Amino acid sequence: MSTFLRGKQTGIQNDLSASIRPELFTPDDQARYGINSQISCLAYDPVQSLLAIGTGESKFGPGKIYVFGQRRVQKVLVPPRSTSFLHIQFSMNRLVSIDSRNELSVWDLDTGGRVGSQVVAGHVVSMVTDPMLDWAFLGMAGGEVMAYDLDRLSLSRMFRLPNFWTEKEPDARGVSLVCMSLHPRDVGKLLIGYSHGAVIYSFKQNKAVQFLHYTVPPGAPGGNGIGGDKLRHPRLSHAVWHPSGTFVVTAHDDGSLVFWDSKEGKVVLARTLTQFKVDHPDGQSGQPTYSEPYTKLAWCCKENCDDSGLLVAGGQPPDASPRSMTFIDFGVTPVYATATWSSLADYCRGKRQNELPLPTGAQAVDFLLIPRCSPHFGGAQDPIAIISLLSSGELLTMSFPSGYPISPANQLHPSTFFVQPFINMVNVSSLERPRWLSMMEKRDQGEPLLKGGAEGPRPRKRFEERTIIQAAQADSTIRIWDSGHADEIENGQQLQVDLTRALGRFDDIEVTAMRMAGGTGEFIVGTRTGEAVVFRWGANRLYGKESTKQIDPNPMGLTDISSRAEPSLKEGLLPSMLYEMMQGPVTAVQISNVGFVAVGSELGFLSLIDLRGPAIIYQAPMTEFARQEKRSSFFKGHNRSSSAPPAKEWPVVIEFGVMTLDEDKYSSICCFVGTNLGKVITFKLLPGNNGYTAQLAGVVAFDDKIISLNPIEAETGKPAAATGQTVAGLREGRHVNGVLVAVTEKEIRIFRPAHSKGASKELDDILCHAACVAELELQGYAIIGVFGDRTARAFSIPGLKEIGKADLSMIDASRINNTTVTETGDIFAWTGPSELAVIHVWGAGRGLQQSPDTLINPKLACPPRPTISNIQWISGTQYISPLDLDLLVGGPDRPPSKRMLDAAAAERRAAGGVGGGTGPSASSRSQEGWGDYLTRQLNERTEKLNIMGDSMDNLQEQSQGWADDVNKFISKQKRNMIVGSMKSKFF
């Protein structure tokens, strides 16, 4: 009965929700965009070209690992229990992680599942993996080093290194392990950094071969000049290899960077970022200088690994402004065999020093290099870019080594946009599919940073409108992309709008309102300082040129700003018009598909603009509508004291539509304006001789803030939008029988504008924060609302009966007022500071599904690991291959891994060719058992190690014999020269 009465009151004869059953309102947790918590670690795989981001546990969710590839390729690795990830590294097309519970996990990137885990007794502070090794070396806080077998998924029982520093100095206290790294060329050496110094460990000799202990004598300034009258041993914080292994650099808490000769174990140069020879007494008592601690060091190199430089994060004075990262370019490494000690010290001074600027007030707490192709040399060979993790929790992508900012648009997954930098505001619009497919931005851009992975199969929904996200970043950049409907995204590109450039200034810019026209793709942005900027799609006539045109301020007027287009943008959303409203922050904007714009401000001002002029066709304050209102109920709205001053009122929701108002005999273009105090103001836009004019049609007042206005057709429920086709039909006398669905915080009302009372429904005590009239395809329309108790509810049209109710437990209650509901039944809600959930209400109750994308391309092979040079080999360096290391770390009882079998086969082919070699024939190998194979493999490897030792002994004997022959030849030549001179004198 209530449905019948409300239908009569609203003028809707049909039940537009008759086919929508309660079981159809079962939301699906469809997708996530963003990063759920604060970023804790980063990793990159140059072979597969994949980026991994690990997060920490927080009240917004457990720690997760996000793995991103090209376009929208991604997988999210979720641990079985809540934890925080501390270290993540790629190895063997898998991902290895260490979490805060000291649990090592091995993840299969194809499935996104965990294939192995091991809880390590003790606190893991460092993890080292290598793309050519089956081992993950774990450095414990107490100084011990263990090895985890990535092939057998267990700890090695044959390998455990003690704390070498305490063995060297038994009286030393508080010695802890800080960092580790493998020799870039010689896999047989491990650099271990302790708090008291660094140690070079040899796997072959099974002992520490060098101890690097930094000492600052009395009278030397050291890194900070503190305590110059006594002997100091600054605490070590980092230790890094030179790409060739010739040098080691250690960073210390006093700001010192100490360069060591790795062979001799002597200091080549001790310096800071600005001073040199800080370990030498200078006889001066300077003022103490303070510097920030070093957060990370990376010794980078070009394709020629001898041409290198050191990238440093930290080490600057606390008052440095702006803060930056430092790159010390050393140039080509001198030939060690012929270089003098002073030339090596000059090399460590560096040829030049570049500053890579950071955002104001931010520090780099970690960074990740993006190499072009090689995973070796610590992931620092020929890097093209840097991704820095800032102290604010944001990411910054820069070119290397210049340090120019790189926009993540069309370079990284859209989820990374939420932290590059943080997003201040999000709006969602429904855009016609043909319009969106034509909006493919053309911009000057470098080579892609991520090329890995392939998108998995998804269904195609080619006849729906596309749901487009517009995200305003903290740096005044707006990025726009298709969120999808769990379907195949045909246009996966992202658009970018630079509001800073459009406004012609760099400070005091904050976006407060955004809207995109669903048919034309025109885009309008409102700011806190009272400007409204309109962007239009088009080709940039100033492409490649920097405009010098000066644009003067024009308060309360319209200005053409097309000359402010980005020079690097060839085609895209270009700045078109600027409206300097100057009436306080912009609170609401709307742009129609037929050339009209509406802007409302916090000081209670409303403007209507015709873009075809462009011309302002209406300007008025909200006070003009105070006496025009018509109360929606006889008993409401009279609780205010007559002596109380009028409350401040401003527009909060604006919509355009086409319908017949009240008793009019014609349909017209309408603009509906909802305010924070509950007024719904209706304007008619009528054609005239010189364009259009705006005429006030009526005001209806509610008791609380307007949340949503939805003009719909009374017969079908379709949106009564102002489209070009609909407006063209008005000339032919077409009538649109429409109604307006208005939702406030406490009420839903369906009425015929501009004065009709219509039918209403009081909501419960829970406030409504977002609402929209949504369509269930082929079933009908319903009103979808999101409420303060983190529930979604559906109401019928026109009966306003509750169809269904569903919990949305994933929503962040503190940001629920920023939720958006779309016409397709999608809810966009924040789950935390930097993650957005996409929930489809017409679903089947499914939870968040793993992505069907493929990350690993098995055809991409890892290049071989670099080896020691000929000079190093001649000088006596004992080379150990990865297969030798498997025997030394895993022991003789460890069955060979798949990689070990492949490498052994490759060695046999390289040594003897087809059918060559001295080992068993192919037929006998195919018949030997598992135990026989292990015995033969061990014997072969042991024999090779012995042969290597014999070869080095023979080489030494031959070298000594060659040196003796050279000495004899020189002595003979000297005697002949002397005898010849005497003969010439006497004969």
What pLDDT score was predicted for residue 721?
92
| DSSP 8-state code for residue 246 | S
The confidence band for 13, taking pLDDT boundaries of 50, 70 and 90, is confident
What is the β-pairing status of strands 691-701 and 629-631?
parallel
Place of tokens 């109380």: 644
Residue 563 DSSP SS3: helix
Please check whether residue 317 is in contact with residue 292, taking contact to mean a CB–CB distance below 8 angstroms.
Answer: yes
Element (H, E) at 449: none
- The pair of structure tokens assigned to 632 is 């929606």
- The pair of structure tokens assigned to 243 is 């790409």
Distance between CA atoms of residues 64 and 77, nearest Å: 6
Closest CA to 186 of 170, 202, 172: 202
List phi, psi (to 5°) of 335: -70, 115
| DSSP 8-state code for residue 909 | H
Mean pLDDT value across residues 194-213 = 94
Q: What is the pLDDT of residues 789-817, one digit of tens each?
A: 999 999 999 999 999 999 999 999 999 99
What pLDDT score was predicted for residue 935?
52
The confidence band for 17, taking pLDDT boundaries of 50, 70 and 90, is very high
Q: Which of 185-194, 220-229, 964-973 has the lowest mean pLDDT?
A: 964-973
Distance between CA atoms of residues 350 and 328, nearest Å: 6
Size of the chain in residues: 987
- The pair of structure tokens assigned to 248 is 């080691």
Query: HSE on the CB side for 118, CA within 13 Å?
Result: 20
For the entire predicted model, the pTM comes to 0.88
Distance between CA atoms of residues 399 and 446, nearest Å: 10
Give the helix ranges, DSSP H, for 286-389. 341-349
Query: HSE on the CB side for 372, CA within 13 Å?
Result: 10
Place of tokens 């004198």: 985
Q: Is the pLDDT of residue 629 over 90?
A: no
Distance between CA atoms of residues 737 and 714, nearest Å: 6
Please check whether residue 570 is in contact with residue 444, taking contact to mean a CB–CB distance below 8 angstroms.
Answer: yes
Distance between CA atoms of residues 561 and 581, nearest Å: 15
Q: Is 963 exposed, middle or buried (0-12, 13-18, 19+ CB in 10 A)?
A: exposed
Q: Is the pLDDT of residue 909 over 50?
A: yes
Q: Is 81 exposed, middle or buried (0-12, 13-18, 19+ CB in 10 A)?
A: exposed
Average predicted confidence (pLDDT) for the chain:
87
Element (H, E) at 927: helix 922-927
What pLDDT score was predicted for residue 2?
61
Closest CA to 841 of 489, 485, 481: 485
Mean pLDDT value across residues 344-367 = 93
Question: 671: which residues sit within 8 A by CB, 6+ positions away?
Answer: 590, 596, 598, 608, 654, 655, 656, 682, 683, 685, 694
Q: What is the pLDDT of residues 54-107, one digit of tens each?
A: 999 998 889 999 999 999 999 999 999 999 999 999 998 999 999 999 999 999
Render 705-759 in DSSP notation, one character per residue. Answer: -EEEEEEEETTT--B----HHHHHHHTTT----EEEEEEESSEEEEE-TTT---E
Domain ranges for the chain, please list them: 428-441+467-484+491-582, 614-627+648-762
Q: Is 438 exposed, middle or buried (0-12, 13-18, 19+ CB in 10 A)?
A: exposed
Q: Is the pLDDT of residue 342 over 50?
A: yes
CA angle 641, 643, 644 (to 5 degrees): 70
User: Which residue has better confidence, 11 or 891?
Assistant: 891
- The pair of structure tokens assigned to 650 is 């401003």
Closest CA to 393 of 368, 424, 366, 369: 366
Q: Is the pLDDT of residue 634 over 70?
A: no
Distance between CA atoms of residues 463 and 600, nearest Å: 34
Mean pLDDT value across residues 638-667 = 80
The confidence band for 9, taking pLDDT boundaries of 50, 70 and 90, is confident
Residue 903 DSSP SS3: helix
Q: Which of 77-91, 511-525, 968-982 has the lowest mean pLDDT?
A: 968-982
The confidence band for 175, taking pLDDT boundaries of 50, 70 and 90, is very high
- The pair of structure tokens assigned to 284 is 């001066």
What is the β-pairing status of strands 296-301 and 759-762?
unpaired
Closest CA to 33 of 852, 836, 849: 836
What pLDDT score was predicted for residue 353?
94
Closest CA to 410 of 493, 497, 496, 475: 493
